[in-house]
Amino acid sequence: MLIQSNLWLAAQELASIQMKYAESGRTLSEAALCGAKEFVEWQHYPANDLVDEVSGYEFYYHAHSADEMPHGEHGHFHVIKRDTKSFHHLIGIALNPKGLPIRLFTTNQWVTGEEIAGSTTAIKSIRGFEMVKKGRMALVTKWISALIKLFSAEIECLILERDQKIAQLVAKQGNREIVLNSKKYHVLTECKIDLMGRISDHLLVVNS
């Protein structure tokens, strides 16, 4: 778990980034498209994902077909950790059309084709998350890093609950591979979040 001062710094970073987008008249969901003029279902933005070759972390933004998207969502980020032989999905971050995050979620292997990692490995990757990118997507990268820090407790709980859900489904279905690769169970755990409320909570605590 992060100490209060680190959470405050993350909240401050997010508040600053949200202010910059507000002043520019753009939203984070627009910035996530990396300059693309059209938002095409299932296509990754950026096209080859945004990868930090040093740390092995990466992310991309996309949306499913309209009939598969939850009501009120514009699209979502998939955040991934990659090593030399495999990769694993860490967390999904869904945005509304205004560019605000409204939901966090975990997935099974069907979604990304990953080699799913246990909660210990995934949580270690979340705690060590750090991406450094320059250029057009630098601000989006900073936003994701700060969001992961600010909601680290929720993300870690979702990952732990994900493994519990997998165990329950395997006990019921009798086959782990079916559970991990079934579209039916593509979202394993999820929770709603309130970014502006969380930012206010942490900034007000320090200033009170």
- If you average pLDDT over every residue of the chain, what do you get? 92
d(CA 73, CA 32): 14
Q: Where are the domains of the chain?
A: 27-193
pTM: 0.93
Q: How large is the average pLDDT for residues 76-91?
A: 93
Q: Is the pLDDT of residue 197 over 90?
A: yes
Per residue in 102-121, pLDDT tens?
999 999 999 988 989 999 99
Q: How far from 167 is each of 115, 175, 192, CA to CA, in Å?
A: 16, 10, 23
Per residue in 121-163, pLDDT tens?
999 999 999 998 888 899 999 999 999 999 999 999 999 999 9
